[in-house]
Amino acid sequence: LLADIARQVGGEHVEVIDLIGKTGDPHHFEPSADSLNASRDAKLYLVAGMGLEGYLPKLKTIVGDKAKIVEVGATLPALEGECDHEGHEHHDHAHELDPNWWHSIDLFRRATLIVAGALGDADPSAKADFEKNAAAYQLKLEDLERWTKKEIVKIPKDRRHLATAHAAFNYFCKDFGFTAHPIQGINREQMPDPKKMSALIDTLKKENVAAIFPEKESNPKILQTLTNDTGIKLGEPLIADGTGVSSYEDMVKHNVNAI
């Protein structure tokens, strides 16, 4: 998704190397020697930030002062992540912030300006082009947001419950008036204990939740069990991290159509 922004804003002035690739999982990604070799002369590294990239300290050590690392999400307003049952924050990937900010089209639009600024600093001679490209892409994202709102309106307000595999869609839910019901926490290893699972099933039944959505990136068996136990339909897999699509727009449209 960051590669998509970089291409949209950078245009002909940039060469974009997507370290994670279309099928990689940003929650578990570690840059390989080969991938870092491919980006050896890069002036700029774009990362999502908000605690998503566990390998960031290592990358900072490798890159040193040869390039600038820009945490695109660092200045965007963040939602808080899930606490465990004792009220402690999970400290594996997410810390206390929910790093899935790209599911807010508004925040993705703001990120466009952050990327344009970073590219302009790296190549001042092309600054005007970066700003022009960013403005054009922002208009596209405004169209995408309008389209999304028009589609969501078709779902009655009391039906706007989104049950998903892990807690990746909180920003989407906040922007478009859904109640989020994640089965797992922010990272995919967090599994609910039996007591929590039982409470979740009660909530899903009480709210007449129509579908539970798996994700293209991971389809835990637990979802199949849940749908068998509750009679709730298994929805079409959603895309949480841009995996398998060529653009941000494709991801949003796929998810909205599925929902």
pLDDT single digits (tens) 121-130? 999 999 999 9
List, for residues 217-255, the tens digit of each pLDDT value: 665 677 777 787 788 898 999 999 998 898 999 999 999
Q: Sort strands 79-80 and 97-98 into parallel, antiparallel or unpaired.
A: antiparallel
Cβ–Cβ < 8 Å for 233, 210: yes
Classify strands 233-234 and 179-182 as parallel, antiparallel or unpaired.
unpaired
Summarised one tens digit per residue, pLDDT across range 156-190 is: 999 999 999 888 999 999 999 999 998 876 655 56
Dihedral sign of CA atoms 86, 87, 92, 94 in order: positive
What is the rounded distance in angstroms from the CA atom of residue 140 to the CA atom of residue 113?
14
Is the predicted pLDDT of residue 94 greater than 50, yes or no? no
Which residue would you say has higher pLDDT here, 143 or 57? 143
Q: Could you identify the residue written with the tokens 């293209």?
A: 216
Instruction: Encode pLDDT of 15-53 as tens digits.
Output: 999 988 777 777 777 777 777 888 888 999 999 999 888
- This prediction has a pTM of 0.89
Closest to 184 (Cα-Cα) out of 203, 169, 205, 202: 169
At 91 the pLDDT is: 40
